[in-house]
Copies of this chain bind each other. A is one copy, B any other.
Amino acid sequence: MSRSHISSDEFRRHGYELVDWVADYMERVGSLPVQARVAPGDIRAMLPPAAPEDPEPFEALVRDLDSVVLPGITHWQSPGWFAYFPANVSAPSVLAELVAAALGAQGMLWSTSPALTEVESHVLDWLVDLLGLPERWKTAVGPGGGVIQSSASDATHLAHVVARELAKERGASSEHAVAYASSQAHSSIEKGARVAAIRHLRPIDVDENYALRPRALDEAILRDLEQGLAPAIVTSTVGTTGTCAVDPVGEVAAIAERHGLWHHVDAAYAGSAFICPELRVEQDGIARVDSFVFNAHKWMFTNFDCSVFWVADRAPLNRAMSVLPPYLRNAASESGEVIDYRDWQLPLGRRFRALKLWWVLRSYGASGIRDLIREHVRLARWLGERVDEHPSLARVAPVAFGLVCFRHVDGDDATDALAEQINRDGSVYVIPSTVDELRFIRVAVGATPTTAADVERLWSIVSRTL
């Protein structure tokens, strides 16, 4: 490290120290209150008003991890994390991130670091097999292919942009394009459509399990066609954020095909579970869709960001994303033999995110990931049974994947009070939400370190509170 103010020996010393800090953090995170207990402005108040003019010793940085940073962290890696969905890390993933950061290579073009592109293409092809997805989604087979995006929001936005461009090719302006998704779809679908300048978003009615009603979709499309609008895209969700509902992808596919809509699948959370054959749902339907996203950074133990996006045909995506200035021209791209991932995403630059996914798959092995996910699902079902047995609680949806949704039978206020009590304990964290104007509590079992003991502790807090 010539020119660095930190010598190579110092780098090693600080590096070992931080590896220890991380190992210690992972060991003690379960003993910290899951939710940060600071008030707005508390963290900023600890920071000096201006950047230092002169170098600070590295020790000061590390000290502030404990005194400034940790009090302001809500611990997504706690074994007591049952909030939102998980955003997991794991040992191989964290260490791969260190290496990727140090290589500091850019994967915008194949030629700017061939390993970044080829490892990514290859590992995503592995995942096609592991998740039971269609063979033609492999880059090595085609015409489809996979690419890592920052988040499911980015992937879903891209799907909307591509659908808008296809509608445009058929003569429809973006002002007339229409996007569809169930009323339970994630906010990223509304946001993706809006950002993509699709002005019409139709929230489609759901059935008693909060899954999209195909007939309502078909009717909405017909209504829009009658009004001269241009139905462009429908998103099916596999595992909604609210209750983990699964839309009938096959029935939606038939409707999308009939009317020529792009069909996108948001399996952000549940997609990881497809690595277990018995947890695959709507597989025949998924084989017919145009694009699919799942977040390896949710339930596949690969730290954020690592959102895997497949398209059944790469051509419309590449058409929408390719702009070639003179400084990016190169022989490899012109040969047509390589993938340039800049044509598969909005940004130009891209990190070596495939490294951590590759390391996670190899370090756990497919069997190791299956074991963890199966255990989380088993624990969720166990918790669901406890809920069902308790006279003061009522499930609001079937236990699905790792998610358990329930409410207090006395109503919304009792439910909110229960959530508050549970979170006050500090060793666990759950999120209340609303569905059908009813308040309920979401318990998402799936943090990397969560074991039976943690779910039992959660249940003892719940039952003690009732």
Given contacts A2-B79, A191-B323, A372-B3, contact A111 B19 (CB under 8 A): no
Residue in contact with A77 in the complex, picked from B16, B75, B99, B103, CB distance below 8 Å: B103
The smallest C-beta distance from A121 to any residue of chain B, in angstroms, reads 7
Query: Among A21, A44, A88, A338, which residue has the most Cβ atoms of chain B within 10 A?
Result: A44
Closest chain B residue, CB of each to CB of A88: B104
B197 touches A95 (CB 8 A): no
Q: Does A23 contact B (CB under 8 A)?
A: yes
CA distance A332 to B297 in the complex (A): 26
B44 touches A1 (CB 8 A): no
Residue in contact with A4 in the complex, picked from B12, B87, B449, CB distance below 8 Å: B449
- When distances are taken between beta carbons in the complex, the residues of chain B under 8 Å from A27 are 1, 8
Q: Does A129 contact B (CB under 8 A)?
A: yes
Residue in contact with A25 in the complex, picked from B103, B111, B431, CB distance below 8 Å: B103
Q: Does A235 contact B (CB under 8 A)?
A: no
Q: Does A304 contact B (CB under 8 A)?
A: yes
Closest chain B residue, CB of each to CB of A442: B327
Q: Does A196 contact B (CB under 8 A)?
A: yes
CA distance A55 to B371 in the complex (A): 12
Q: Does A71 contact B (CB under 8 A)?
A: yes
Interface residues of A in 423-466 (CB under 8 A from B): 431, 433-435, 442, 448-451
The smallest C-beta distance from A367 to any residue of chain B, in angstroms, reads 5
Query: Among A54, A150, A175, A196, which residue has the most Cβ atoms of chain B within 10 A?
Result: A150
The smallest C-beta distance from A361 to any residue of chain B, in angstroms, reads 5
Q: Does A182 contact B (CB under 8 A)?
A: no
B61 touches A105 (CB 8 A): no
Q: Does A335 contact B (CB under 8 A)?
A: yes
Residue in contact with A449 in the complex, picked from B1, B99, B152, CB distance below 8 Å: B1
Residue in contact with A23 in the complex, picked from B1, B321, B449, CB distance below 8 Å: B1
Question: Interface size bucket, A side?
Answer: 35 or more
Q: Does A97 contact B (CB under 8 A)?
A: yes
Interface residues of A in 39-63 (CB under 8 A from B): 40-44, 47, 50-56, 58, 60-61
Q: Does A106 contact B (CB under 8 A)?
A: yes
Closest chain B residue, CB of each to CB of A348: B153
Residue in contact with A43 in the complex, picked from B40, B69, B77, B114, CB distance below 8 Å: B114
Given contacts A23-B1, A348-B153, contact A77 B104 (CB under 8 A): yes
- When distances are taken between beta carbons in the complex, the residues of chain B under 8 Å from A190 are 323
Residue in contact with A164 in the complex, picked from B16, B150, B197, B337, CB distance below 8 Å: B197
Selected A-B contacts with CB under 8 Å, 23 pairs = A3-B448, A6-B91, A21-B99, A36-B111, A40-B114, A44-B121, A54-B365, A58-B363, A68-B119, A72-B116, A74-B105, A74-B113, A74-B114, A76-B104, A76-B106, A77-B102, A94-B101, A94-B102, A104-B303, A164-B197, A191-B323, A195-B321, A326-B434
